[in-house]
Structures are given as structure tokens and as C-alpha cells.
């Protein structure tokens, strides 16, 4: 075997010559795998469960108005589930992995989404009930501090577990960088997403810790802090500036736009 042939066989498998995506990654997931098909179908089923969770079709104006008041909770639940689907879809397109860890983590993600789909809508309806001082209805009645803490515990565990699975997928892709042929720019971007993705389970853990500290006779605003802490998730945008100069240099070297 010639020296060139040995070098070619030892180097990581690079993606075929094609235009790079705007996000800086090559698209390695050219074919839809059975795992992706199953995940897509499960997410579609979860969204369908949200849509059919209305007890009955409205029969008059009052019932129609009452049904429409449940739309805000439905929309937020739909958007959140859609975000998780989009993140998994983007991950699949970028890395094209279909090995054991990928299948396991994807199945766990589907299981969690199907478990939390109904409670998720209950949590959002309770949030709107609180924000609108009861004008928007809630299917979950909070009659005591124990009820409030249960809601925050459940929501925190849901966010922490789903966030941990998504973080696991990103970390797995980074571990497989050599095998799937990630170039320096893609490795930098993947590392940045791992750092940003770690924020979701950490924020959820903070919410759970704040819930543990809730007790009677606190100022009213403190009872909402376990929910308000999720605003810290916007901190993921901070990681967009991590090693920005190095990213810009890599993009210039590849003849790409700054991004």
C-alpha cells in the first residue's frame, strides 16, 4: 500500500464535497434512519395528544370562549415540544449518527416527552392562571403550598431530565468527532453547544433547590422564584460569544461568512 493510500485510510471520514450549512456544519444525516422516523412519529403523537386533550367540542358561545382560554397553555406546550423536536432534528442532520448511544438516548427522549406531555400543559395552564389572576383557567388546582411545590418539582425534573438527554446527545457527537470527521470549526461549534446545553439541567436544578426553600409566611413574590429562574435559560446566548474570534478566523480560512 502506498504512503498516500495509508494516510487516506488513517484519516477520519470526511463528508462528501458539498456546500456547508449556514450554521457551520456539514450535513451528514443525508438519509432518514429508522430511529429518526420513530422519534418524529413520537413527537407528532405527543403534539396530537395536546390537541385532543379538550374534553368535548364547544356547543355554545360560552363553551367556545372557555375552550379558547386554554389556547395560551396549548401554544406554549406546543412550542416547547417543537423546540425539542427541532433540536433533535438538527442534531441528526449535522452528525448522522445511528449507533447504540444515539438509539438509547433518542428512546429515552421520546419516553420523557410522552410522560410529560399532559403535565406540561397543566403546568403552563397553572402559570397563566397565576399571571392573569384567574382569568385564564387552570386544570391543576393549587390549594396549598404542597401543591405549588409539587408543580415546581415536577416541572424541574421534566426540564432537567430532557435537558440532560439533549446534552448527552451533543456530548456523544463531540466524542465521535474523529470518527465522523468534524473539522476544527465544527468541533468548536459543537463544544459551544455542549456548554450551552448544560445550562438547562443546571437551571432546572436551581429551580428545584429554590422550591425546597419555600415555606409559609414568605413575601408573595418569593413563591414565584422557582419559575422565574427559568429566565436564566436566555443565558445560552452568552455562549454564542465564546471563542468568537477563533471562530471568525476559522470561517475566514474556509472562505465562509462570519456567521
Q: Do 108 and 203 belong together in one domain?
A: no
Instruction: Please enumerate, as own/partner, the contacts of 78-85 that have beta carbons within 8 Å and a separation of 24 or more.
Output: 78/47, 78/50, 80/120, 81/43, 81/46, 81/47, 81/50, 81/113, 81/117, 81/120, 82/47, 84/43, 84/109, 84/113, 84/162, 84/166, 85/39, 85/40, 85/43
Q: Are residues 201 and 105 in the same domain?
A: no
Shared domain check, 235 and 171 = yes
Q: How confident is the model at residue 259 (pLDDT cuts 50, 70, 90)?
A: low
Please check the confidence at residue 12 and state whether its pLDDT lies above 70. no
Query: Is residue 197 located within the same domain as residue 258?
Result: yes
Overall size of the chain counted in residues: 259
Q: What pLDDT score was predicted for residue 92?
A: 94
Residue 14, phi-psi category: left (phi > 0), alpha (psi -120 to 50), beta (remainder): beta
pTM: 0.84
CA–CA distance, 234 with 109 (Å, rounded to integer)? 22
pLDDT tens for each residue of 43-82 = 999 988 887 655 566 778 887 887 788 888 889 999 999 9
Q: Do 104 and 200 fall within a single domain? A: no
pLDDT higher than 70, residue 175: yes
210 contacts 149 by C-beta, under 8 angstroms: no
Structural domain for 48, as ranges: 30-141
Domain count, the chain: 2
Do residues 56 and 92 both lie within one domain? yes
103-153 residue pLDDT tens: 999 999 999 999 888 888 888 888 888 788 888 888 777 788 998 898 899
Say whether both 135 and 44 belong to one domain: yes
Amino acid at each position: 500500500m502506498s504512503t498516500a493510500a495509508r494516510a487516506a485510510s488513517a484519516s477520519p471520514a470526511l463528508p462528501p464535497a458539498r456546500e456547508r450549512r449556514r450554521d457551520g456544519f456539514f450535513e451528514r444525516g443525508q438519509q432518514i434512519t429508522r430511529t429518526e422516523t420513530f422519534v418524529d412519529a413520537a413527537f407528532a403523537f405527543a403534539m396530537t395528544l395536546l390537541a385532543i386533550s379538550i374534553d368535548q367540542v364547544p356547543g355554545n358561545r360560552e363553551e367556545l370562549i372557555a375552550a379558547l382560554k386554554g389556547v395560551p397553555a396549548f401554544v406554549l406546550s406546543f412550542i416547547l415540544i417543537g423546540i425539542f423536536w427541532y433540536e433533535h432534528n438538527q442534531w441528526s442532520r449535522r452528525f448522522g449518527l445511528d449507533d447504540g448511544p444515539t438509539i438509547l438516548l433518542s428512546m429515552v427522549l421520546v419516553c420523557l416527552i410522552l410522560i410529560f406531555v399532559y403535565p406540561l400543559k397543566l403546568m403552563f395552564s397553572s402559570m397563566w392562571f397565576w399571571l392573569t389572576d384567574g382569568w385564564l383557567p387552570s386544570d391543576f388546582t393549587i390549594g396549598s403550598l404542597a401543591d405549588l411545590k409539587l408543580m415546581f418539582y415536577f416541572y424541574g425534573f421534566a426540564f432537567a431530565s430532557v435537558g440532560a438527554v439533549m446534552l448527552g446527545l451533543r456530548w456523544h457527537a463531540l466524542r465521535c468527532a474523529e470518527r465522523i470527521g468534524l473539522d476544527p470549526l465544527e468541533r468548536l461549534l459543537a463544544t459551544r453547544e455542549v456548554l450551552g446545553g448544560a445550562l438547562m439541567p443546571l437551571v432546572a436544578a436551581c429551580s428545584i433547590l429554590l422550591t425546597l426553600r419555600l415555606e409559609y409566611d414568605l413575601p408573595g413574590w418569593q413563591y414565584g422564584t422557582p419559575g422565574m429562574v427559568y429566565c436564566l435559560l436566555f443565558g445560552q446566548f452568552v455562549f454564542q460569544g465564546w471563542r468568537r474570534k477563533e471562530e471568525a478566523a476559522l470561517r475566514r480560512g474556509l472562505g465562509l461568512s462570519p456567521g
